[in-house]
Amino acid sequence: MGEFVSLQVNDGVGTIRLDRPKMNALDKQVQEEIRAAALEATERDDVKAVVIWGGERVFAAGADVKEMAQMSHADMVKRSAGLQSSLGALTRIPKPVVAAINGYALGGGCELALCADVRFAADNAVLGQPEILLGIIPGAGGTQRLTRLVGPAKAKDLIFTGRFVKADEALAIGLVDRVVPADEVYTQAVEWASQFTTGATLALRAAKESIDRGIETDLETGLEIERQQFAALFATADRQIGMDSFVENGPGKAEFVGH
């Protein structure tokens, strides 16, 4: 458990919790603690799905500008890869991941949310990539993940202007997937994640990898990725359990064992 980032596990759902007063600014230490929590969530068999949460007041207001302001070009050349890979560790968790967004998710905080598979936002949430207002651009995946999520025109609008997006617009453009009352964000995110705690673990992993790897390539290569993942699942116990249960009892009644 880090000083500002922890992994809390309850009934198969792991919560990666940011808690750095006052606004969960993502300095180097927080970035590396996020990486450590993501790796732990990846490795632990008792974690079946993950919620990323910054608490009831703020998700993450962005990078630690005071820290960055002191960095030279040479400093950032050394640090930029670690910045990207620390948040990128969340995308490589081979399990369903949901971001529960209360309050601000700006700059690096928005990039953090983009690393999840889905995003639940409070009705008072505010998202954005305001780096351009500091004379820089998003550097932790924003130009790439945001574009793949909402399309190039909308991504350029947000990144070029640095403007903030309220929850209703974020939902309309596909930046978030669900808007709920602020006091229900975390609960609903855990509820979504909980449905996978008894799921077919290896099939979920294969589905996520097929989608994430396939979207980065051409259709034929993506289909080959899918074919290999599909065929490999026929070596799993859960595939046999799932099919036998379907034949005997109909869909949705299988009791998977996770291998």
| Sheet bearing 126-128, strands edge to edge | 104-106, 126-128, 164-166
Q: Which fold has domain 201-249?
A: Lyase 2-enoyl-coa Hydratase; Chain  A, domain 2 (1.10.12)
Any idea which of 21-30, 154-163, 170-179 has the lowest mean pLDDT? 21-30
Catalytic residue list? 63, 108, 111, 131
Question: pTM here?
Answer: 0.94
State pLDDT tens for residues 76-87.
888 888 888 899
Assigned architecture for domain 5-194: Alpha-Beta Complex (3.90)
Structure confidence by residue, pLDDT tens digits, 221-240: 999 999 999 999 999 999 99
What are the structural domain ranges in the chain? 5-194, 201-249
